[in-house]
Every structure is written in structure tokens, then in C-alpha cells.
Amino acid sequence: MNISIITVGKLKEKYLKLGIDEFLKRLTAYAKMEIIEVPDEKAPEQLSDLEMEQVKQKEGEKILSKISPDTYVIALAIEGKMKSSEELADSLDKLATYGKSKIAFVIGGSLGLSNEVLQRADEKLSFSKMTFPHQMMKLILLEQIYRAFRINRGEPYHK
């Protein structure tokens, strides 16, 4: 299975990089993992609604340029479906069973994802109704992907 995490912005926080590197290392036993970072759009702190849409549009174009037509896309979005860890594990298992070996999880920038990216998504996944920093979501997502593989293999992992 080839899993990409496509995300907006470069990761700067060292503590998050250490956690991400650890889970990427652990995941090599289960899947080919790749993190693709597209540059975020520089924007002032205060934006009009139109300016926000323009930023999301530009970031969305960069995201979509990294997705091949045969990739199953899971967009992280607050309005997506919430799943338990077991349900996520089951979803990944079913995708592999039915020949979907290329999966991309998409994490938007601080303003979220463009409508075009959400329309391209095969599935929308929500981790919570709460908002998390998009950089932290990389680590949380990797941990859940790792947990899903452990669940599917019947391997022990803390609950």
C-alpha cells in the first residue's frame, strides 16, 4: 500500500518532526509512506471572505497537482465522517482488499480546503468537531494510520 499525506505548509516545530519521523519509521513495516508538503500562500492576518477563498483556491491547486487520477483521496475536514480507530482500520483494510493501493490523506492549511479538493475527495474524514493546528494533524494522522495497521494485523498496541 502506498500512502501519501499531502499537507499545506512546512513543518517547523522540532517536537512534531521527531514524532512524525518516529511514526514514519514504524510504518515502513506496513506501507510505503510519503509526506508531500505544498507551500502555503502568504496572506495577511485579516482577510476578507473573497481573499480567504482565493488563498484556499491557490493552495487547492497545489494539492490537486500532487494527486494522480488513480489515487483514493481522503480529505480531513471538520464536516467529514468521524470514525473510531477500529473503523479507520477496517476502511484501510477494505481499500487494500479492493485494489485501492494508492491512498492520499489531505490536510489543508490554516483556512481549510478548497471546494475543488473536497469535490475530488472520495471520502471526508473528521477527527473531531474541534479545530487542531494543521501541523499537529500530521502527527495525529500518522499515529492513527499506524494504529490501524496494528489493529488489522492483530498486533498489540496501547488503547
Q: Are strands 2-8 and 32-38 parallel, antiparallel or unpaired?
A: parallel
pLDDT class of 158 with cuts at 50, 70, 90: low
pLDDT at 105: 98
How far is 78 from 45, CA to CA, in rounded Å? 22
For residue range 51-85, what is the model confidence (pLDDT) as tens digits? 889 999 999 999 999 999 999 999 999 899 999 99
For residue range 85-142, what is the model confidence (pLDDT) as tens digits? 999 999 999 999 888 889 999 999 888 999 999 999 999 999 998 888 888 999 999 9
Output the nine-digit C-alpha cell for 76.
480531513
Residue type, 81: K
Cα torsion at 13, 86, 119, 67 (round to 10°)? 60
Q: Are strands 123-126 and 72-82 parallel, antiparallel or unpaired?
A: parallel
Share of the chain above pLDDT 90, in %: 74
